[in-house]
A and B are shown apart, each in its own frame.
Chain A
Amino acid sequence: MADTRKARILIAKPGLDGHDRGAKIIARALRDAGFEVIYTGLHQTPEMIVNAALQEDVDAIGLSILSGAHNHLFPRVVELLREKGASDKIVFGGGIIPAEDIPALKKAGIVEIFTPGTPLSEIVEFVRKTVGT
């Protein structure tokens, strides 16, 4: 029987930031595009996110922060994934992230950062390309 497993994406809100409009829209857009989407809800610690990623056996994790705490929280998620031997999971992010912070985040293992105004189609395309359908 052919493997028809849909790719599984975790959309997560790390830290104390409560702005979830964007994360919810992306979660829904990815679901409409045919992915299996799990949305963690707000106020997740990096530990909670990594646990959910492992439990839900996801292929990719999308992190959303608008509070400015991304330089600490995004790399922390990547670090914890590495500790758990789950570095194959693709981490991408978005929110209010100054352009000058992006190179360091990518160096820390976040594959792509989507800033305000990015078309949804671009994000969906990215996920499709990096994770498969």
Chain B
Amino acid sequence: MESPAKKLWREELEKAFHELPPRQKVFTTLSGEEVPELCGPEDVQFDYEKDLGYPGVYPFTRGVQPSMYRGRLWTMRQFSGFGTAEDTNRRYKYLLSQGQTGLSVAFHMPTLMGRDSDSEYARGEVGRCGVAVDTLRDMEILFEGIPLDQVTTSMTINAPAAILLAMYIAVAEKQGVSRRQIGGTIQNDILKEYIAQKSWIFPPKESMRIIQDILVFCTQEVPRWNTISISGYHIREAGSTAVQELAFTLADGIGYVQAGIEAGLDVDAFAPRLSFFFNAHIDFFEEIAKYRAARRIWARTMKERFGARDPRSMKLRFHTQTAGCSLTAQQPMNNVVRTAVEALAAVLGGTQSLHTNSMDETLALPTEEAVTVALRTQQILAEETGVANTIDPLGGSYFIEYLTNRMESQAMAYIEEIDRMGGIIRAIELGYPQKEIAEAAYRYQMALESGEKTLVGVNKYVMGEEPPIEILKIPPEKEEQQVRRLKEIKRSRSSRDVARSLQALEKAARSRENLMPVILEAVKAYASIGEICDILRGVFGVYEDPAYF
């Protein structure tokens, strides 16, 4: 029974639209989900204690820590890396001096793909997408003067994650910091590589074995380390909708929990160190609802599906990066605004850690000036706007809870579909998430082409020829420099130690022996990433792109 006031509103609304039609035929989120003109108590159903509850208390919808930003702000962690280890070490020291509170390493393409800088596959790629790391020597330089007992580091590395983790442990130990003290994350989320980021090496089952070895090793030896950053960011960048980002990420998470249990671990022994990584795209409320739904779904899944008893196993802790794919090459200053709005969504969504994109990242890796503005964006949000001062401030908003509920049920439908297929690995073999993403990407592009969706400066408010801005350039000499360094390492290391360690690695790979200790020995002998990965390629084989489009 509609109240008289509501009935009056409807009548007035119809009159208003009769005089001036609505701006659009249909109003949808960026992902294409219709949104109502107005949400009131009769439009959304929730049981406060059961569905929302309290921060730091199951089901964690309102936040994973009881104090959230009242106690401690999110970590300001700018993803960064270019050129040689010296170049990036300099940028890290700069960012830390400007108030960044955690490190995040971007490696160049050869490292990501398990190739050395002198490999034929690395021609033209060295130092361009991230920092060149071939051996432990590069990592030593990368963290020179940075105390690893005081700073946590996230490393975006997937197929060769075990190797980079081993290098980080070795660098820390050289600093006198034990592996039990170091804190950080390796992305190490191979499932989303097949789905979205595409920096795989080995096939899925063999890759999962490596991840199991990492889970077991870290559970025993590196307790403060986040073993996986289960990611939706890249899924979204590849063109998925918000619901797909949420669903495929959580489905990957379910796959990892199953893998850990299969490896013989008690769920509460390793699940607390699983972490997540989401995108913060431009549709403000859709993103906030996504984060809240993510926390609630994961909590319920861990408790009901996996029987976790430790609340820490049920807490979805996440890092966020603002959406690279939302930025434009045209009128790059507009990107400062986009990043700020996206960062605000992440904060209102309760992120533990945040990277804000720079305005020039559609053109190149960020200049020092651009990344400073990006960092200041976070600092202004944190210190000036007040949004960090009350926990989950949008909780209870009719619209936000309506969106959160809808996001949860739509994501669950996808997760159940994937379960019916036989799980996420099977779904990947069938090409299911990859094709869903390609479809969504194409749909969005069509919406841009038709003007149904607006991208300011690109299909509306276009300005024609613009003066070029200063961008970061990686001189081609960096490649020669890095190749020379690698040659020098290979000349001065003990080739006997390297050969012995690679032999031990191959033996371990062919058996069920944990790979982490043998990889540690190999990196300490200054075996290169390419050398280690080539051994593993020989044992595990390689994965070929099925090339769906």
Contacts and interface: CB of A to CB of B under 8 A. Distances in A.
Interface residues of B, number: 46
Contacts of A96: 362-364
Given A69-B124, A72-B123, A116-B328, A16 B449 contact: no
Interface string B465-477: 0001001001010
Given A28-B442, A98-B363, A117 B458 contact: yes
B471 A72 contact: no
B161 to A, nearest CB: 16
B369 interface: no
A31 B115 CA distance: 34
A16 B115 contact: yes
A64 to B, nearest CB: 12
A99 B112 CA distance: 27
Contact of A41 (B122, B237, B441, B544): B544
B474 A25 contact: no
B206 to A, nearest CB: 18
Contacts of B122: 16
Contacts of A45: 120-121
B110 A16 contact: yes
B124 A71 contact: yes
Nearest to A73: B124
Interface in B448-474: 449, 455, 457-459, 468, 471, 474
Interface in A1-37: 15-21, 23-25, 27-29
B124 A72 contact: yes
B167 to A, nearest CB: 20
Contact of B468 (A20, A27, A73, A100): A100
A20 B458 contact: no
Nearest to A15: B125
Interface string B424-456: 000000000000001001100100010000010
Overall SS of chain A's interface = loop
A82 interface: no
Nearest to B197: A18
Contacts of B549: 23-24, 27-28, 39
Contacts of A29: 445
B455 to A, nearest CB: 8
B545 interface: yes
Interface string A53-70: 000000000000001111
A30 to B, nearest CB: 10
Contact of B438 (A16, A24, A43, A117): A24
B199 A117 contact: no
A29 to B, nearest CB: 8
7 contacts: A16-B110, A21-B441, A29-B445, A42-B545, A67-B125, A73-B123, A96-B363
Interface of B: 109-110, 112-113, 115, 120-125, 128-129, 193, 197-199, 237-239, 325, 328-330, 362-364, 438, 441-442, 445, 449, 455, 457-459, 468, 471, 474, 476, 544-549
